[in-house]
A = this chain, B = another copy of it.
Amino acid sequence: MARKLQGLQTIAFDLSPKIVGSATIAGPKEKKGNLAPYIDNLVPDPMLGEQTPEKAERKLLYQTCQEALARAKLTEHDMDFFLGGDLLNQIISSSFCARDLGIPFIGIYGACSSIVEGLGLGAMLVDGEYADQVLIATSSHYQASERQFRYPIELNIQHKGTSQWTVTGAGAAVLSTQGEGPRITCVTFGRVTDYGIKSPDIMGAAMAPAANDTLCRHFQDTNTSPGDYDLVLTGDLGNMGQKLFMDLAKEAGHTLGTKHMDVGATIYKPQQRAGAGGSGCACAALGILGYVIKEMYQGRYRRVLALATGALFSPLSYQQGDSIAGIAHAIVMENP
């Protein structure tokens, strides 16, 4: 059973669900990037032989779910629930994946923060003994996102230096109290924070205040500070958003220094011309289920605070003059 820290946003788990299996997949651009050694499956063709990027994304997601199940030595029949979400309208990647898996489906949407929303909710379901095992997964695809949120890539519209590059990939995790793996000991669900940013070309700036809000709330609720963690990971703030986040955190009294790493700012190399860095649901997923988990198994990190950030908008809300709000959800991952 969990302890909800009274009147606060953070929940600490007593049973501490474990990530007993996880898998990551990504495409050729990610293969040339910095996180390639941490990604389980690097596919040479981002279309996976499919006719459309949407169908390719679905395939990435399904394959990764099966791989995570295999690594947990379980099958879809052992799962009580599948929690999935993605960036595509009506989260079709996740819905179709849920159809093919046949597991009772809890659809979620947290934009690029979806993986942590899913891990946090999934951890509750397992900790609360509502489920023995749950599967959580998310995906994104550069081409599918570009044409949905911006322009079809065939138009060759020039990217801005501050825009981010949607990661093509997926990540999946199996949570259970049985078995071995990093434990999820805490979750902090974030509030929607709006700093009035209106351009989808500077989403890092739209998300940085949300990341800082959740960071501060988490430290306050748990009475911890950066010194209590080996790593504070953020999802996809990118180069610009990362700087803003560090500044905001410092203003709030939290100096992160070298303990901080942003997946979006790290995933691509400068010569890859990916603007301000990576983004998309797969970005945080590759960071958490690829980089963090592997480094935890290697013994480099014992306790990690992972914050995934999301920009909450649609092309239509942007066209109607609405600002782009941000959200960040956080989990604490610990080695036994």
Partner-B contacts on A (CB < 8 A): 1-2, 4, 9, 11, 51-52, 54-55, 80-81, 85, 87-92, 95-96, 98-99, 102-111, 117, 121, 124-125, 127-132, 148, 189-194, 312-317, 320, 322, 325, 327
Alpha-carbon gap, A88 to B314, bound state (A)? 9
Assess the A85–B109 pair: CB atoms within 8 A.
yes
User: When chains A and B are docked, how far (Å) is the Cα of A166 from the Cα of B317?
Assistant: 20
B95, B130, B189, B194: the one contacting A325 at CB < 8 Å is B95
Please determine whether B312 and A129 come into contact, CB atoms closer than 8 angstroms: no
- Contact B316–A89 (Cβ < 8 Å): yes
- Residue contact B194 to A55, C-beta cutoff 8 Å: no
CB within 8 Å for A105 and B191 given contacts A4-B80, A90-B314, A128-B130: yes
Contact B99 A325 (CB under 8 A): yes
Known: A92-B313, A106-B108; 9 extra A-B contacts, CB below 8 A, are A90-B317, A95-B325, A96-B317, A98-B327, A99-B193, A99-B194, A106-B121, A107-B110, A124-B125
The smallest C-beta distance from A143 to any residue of chain B, in angstroms, reads: 13
Note all chain B residues with C-beta closer than 8 A to A316: 54, 88-89, 92, 148
Given A2-B130, A128-B2, A189-B104, also A55-B92 (CB < 8 A): no
**Residues of B close to A54: CB separation below 8 A:** 316-317, 320
> A2 near B99 (CB under 8 angstroms)?
no
**Contact partners of A106 in chain B: CB under 8 A:** 108, 110, 117, 121, 189
Contact A314 B89, CB 8 Å, known A4-B80, A55-B320, A106-B117: yes
Q: List 8 A-B contacts (CB under 8 A).
A: A1-B128, A9-B104, A88-B314, A89-B90, A95-B192, A95-B325, A99-B194, A108-B108
